Structure 1
Amino acid sequence: MLRTALACLLTLLAGWAAASWLTYDFQAWTDEDARRLEVALRPVPAPSVAVDGADVPATTLPALLAGGSGTDGHAGVTIADFFYTRCQTVCLSLGSSFQQLQQALQQEPNPGVRLLSISFDGAHDAPQVLAPYADKLQADPRLWRFARVPDPAQQQALLARLGVVVIPNDFGDYEHNAALLVFDGQGRMVRVFDLAEQQLALNYARHLARQQHAGAPQS
């Protein structure tokens, strides 16, 4: 009886230890939660992939993220998402969310925050495709830009680095996760928010932009 009890206790302790390790001391219970915690603890620099797009001349992603934001020319904060123009599901929600974010930013004289939508269907979503898509969403290019990574290998490297899951399906479309990615003025992904956390993402981006403008330590 005692031996059985000890065996059960050891099994429970081993299970608790494994769960603690796998969930960062129970702070994350899913892969996505773990990813977001990891990003918050260790920001992820954007890889130097080539990008172009609607109102985006050929450049690299870090250079695009580090470009001046607002009238003062300071490097700003960017809220980014990943989408593709042929999507008829979650991308529509992302577009609506970004329209609301843009509307909020338009109320501020110099918000220090920009929006960036990156297509992961680079072979199809060339600049001449992205431009009318942006127009349809009434995107203000001063605040909201659309880009793609034309090179397939670089595109896959970018998705892998940022933890964006994109899976082709049998109908020529893609299944993909949806999130709001916040990049600081150094081109580092510093936070990941759920689509439903739109206001939280904007509040954090504003806070980070104020810190950067004041030269305060970022957190």
Structure 2
Amino acid sequence: MKTVFALLLVLVAGCAAIYRTTEGFRVATSEDARRLSVSEHPKAIPDVILQTQSGVSVSLSEALRCDRRVRIVSFIYTRCNAICSAVGTEFQQLQDIIERRGLGQRVGLLSLSFDERDTPTLLSDYARRMHAKPQIWQFAGIADAKERTALLAAFGIVVIPAPLGEFQHNAAFHLLVDGQLARIVDYDDPDTALASALSSAENPIGRGKPGSGQGKSCAF
């Protein structure tokens, strides 16, 4: 009897843990649970200092307030020849759609490098290689190591050093709305990312109209 009772306790504890991990059995994995949690309760992110591709230092919050667009954010490094290339291709396609449909005042793209070696010059060169149009797609790095680590943690990005100065890392599209992480979308699903960004841009709550820079000049 004691053995049965002990097994029941273990079973109950296990079910409780799974319930918490899967947001009440609504999702299959812990990553799915994290994404669901973010979509239901947007997450504040650290206000780090960015080094833009033009060499300007600006806080992330200031950059986001500049024109109040919803930003679709990706994390990259300029030496990457693997997943970053796939993400870059998707961003190129998103850029074309945003330009063609005249959505540049509502949605912007932002690629953030997690590689401390990525100087503004390298970011600018990378932007040119990606045919990025600065009015839609910007690039920046985070010079301070602690700030960079905090930002990666907030976005759920795991970066592992690899041979030849490269990195292994996960990737996704992250939607920033009102300076908060509001949704995470697979990087191979740009249509959903853009639709979600437009939905958020069409429902500005307490932040004015997207594209209204309030007379400020954007650092990018």
TM-score by length of 1: 0.85
Secondary structure of the structure 2 residue equivalent to 1:87: coil
| Match of residue 186, structure 2, among 173, 186, 194 | 194
Shift of 1:214: 9.8
| Structure 1 alignment gaps of length 5 or more | 69-74
Shift of 1:3: 8.5
| Match of residue 151, structure 2, among 152, 155, 158 | 158
Structure 1 residues 213, 42: closer, same or farther in 2, change over 3 A?
Answer: closer
Aligned to 1:140: 133
Give runs of ≥4 in structure 1 deviating > 4 Å: 2-14, 213-216
Aligned to 1:119: 113
Structure 1 residues 161, 108: closer, same or farther in 2, change over 3 A?
Answer: same
What root-mean-square deviation, in Å, do the aligned CA atoms of Structure 1 and Structure 2 show? Answer: 2.3
Determine if contact 1:180/1:192 at 8 Å carries over to the other structure.
yes
Shift of 1:34: 2.1
| Match of residue 130, structure 1, among 123, 127, 139 | 123
In structure 2, how many angstroms separate the alpha carbons of the residues matched to 1:146 and 1:36? 24
Structure 1 residues 19, 81: closer, same or farther in 2, change over 3 A?
Answer: same
| Structure 2 alignment gaps of length 5 or more | 209-220
In structure 2, how many angstroms separate the alpha carbons of the residues matched to 1:156 and 1:6? 45
Q: Deviations over 1:52-77 (max 9, x none)?
A: 22246210111112221xxxxxx110
In structure 2, how many angstroms separate the alpha carbons of the residues matched to 1:140 and 1:20? 45
Shift of 1:10: 5.9
Aligned to 1:30: 29
Task: Map 1:53-72 to 2 at 5 A.
Answer: 53-55=52-54, 57-68=56-67
- Structure with higher RCO (Cα < 8 A, 6+ apart): 2
Secondary structure of the structure 2 residue equivalent to 1:175: strand
In structure 2, how many angstroms separate the alpha carbons of the residues matched to 1:8 and 1:159? 40
Secondary structure of the structure 2 residue equivalent to 1:211: coil
Amino acid at match of 1:26: F
What is the aligned residue count?
207
Structure 1 residues 4, 51: closer, same or farther in 2, change over 3 A?
Answer: closer
Aligned to 1:39: 38
Determine if contact 1:179/1:194 at 8 Å carries over to the other structure.
yes
In structure 2, how many angstroms separate the alpha carbons of the residues matched to 1:198 and 1:58? 29
Determine if contact 2:48/2:147 at 8 Å carries over to the other structure.
yes
TM-score by length of 2: 0.85
User: Is 1:90 aligned to 2:65, yes or no?
Assistant: no
In structure 1, how many angstroms separate the alpha carbons of the residues matched to 2:162 and 2:88? 22
Determine if contact 1:80/1:115 at 8 Å carries over to the other structure.
yes
In structure 1, how many angstroms separate the alpha carbons of the residues matched to 2:94 and 2:153? 26
Structure 1 residues 58, 3: closer, same or farther in 2, change over 3 A?
Answer: closer
Secondary structure of the structure 2 residue equivalent to 1:150: coil
